[in-house]
Amino acid sequence: MELIDLIPEFNLYEEYWKIYTKSDIIEPQYLSADSVVEKSIIGEGTEVYGEVHSSVIGPGVTIGRGAVIRDSIVMKGTTIGENAIIDKSIIAENCQVGANTELGIGEEAPNKLNASIYSFGLVTVGEDSVIPDGVKIGKNTAISGTTDKEDYPNGILESGEVIIKAG
């Protein structure tokens, strides 16, 4: 996250440094007229219709209208639904986060699976995971696999809880 500091230790804006990368032909980022992006890195081919604050967004991500992402990392190919709120989350590749979903709510609680790994108030979502519309997810949580509303008692995954449905 230090890369989004005003002058990061690894300065991406150094005028004499050349960065050589192998890149397939990927479309540029698209920021809608209503989008807001501040202090963030946005990957190639990403479409932003909502807000992104102090976050790193990978390539090929779609962020729906009304969605707000704060202090998070969203990796490539992920779709964030409309009006979703993502706070202090790490979302792996090719995930789907449903509309009107909230990640990173409530008070912190120690994670029941591994408190030393799933900590710092973060929500951790594993690759290829699906989170349904309208659920709320607490802090220090971990989700892996395709989940549905029945996996969230009263529509909530409490802080410190885990859902693992991956094979």
CB neighbour list of residue 73: distance below 8 Å, 6 or more residues apart: 1, 55, 56, 58, 89, 90, 91
pTM (predicted TM-score):
0.86
The encoded tokens of residue 46 equal 């990403």
* pLDDT tens readout for residues 108-162: 999 998 988 888 999 999 999 999 999 999 999 999 999 999 999 999 999 999 9
| Closest to 95 (Cα-Cα) out of 107, 80, 105, 84 | 80
Average pLDDT over residues 49-73: 97
Does residue 20 sit within a domain?
A: no
Does residue 90 sit within a domain?
A: yes
* Cβ–Cβ < 8 Å for 52, 42: yes
| Closest to 66 (Cα-Cα) out of 42, 99, 106 | 99
Q: Please give the tally of structural domains in the chain.
A: 1
Does residue 49 sit within a domain?
A: yes
Q: CATH number, domain at 40?
A: 2.160.10.10
Give residue 59's domain range.
2-12+27-164
Does residue 17 sit within a domain?
A: no
Phi and psi of 40, rounded to 5°?
A: -140, 160
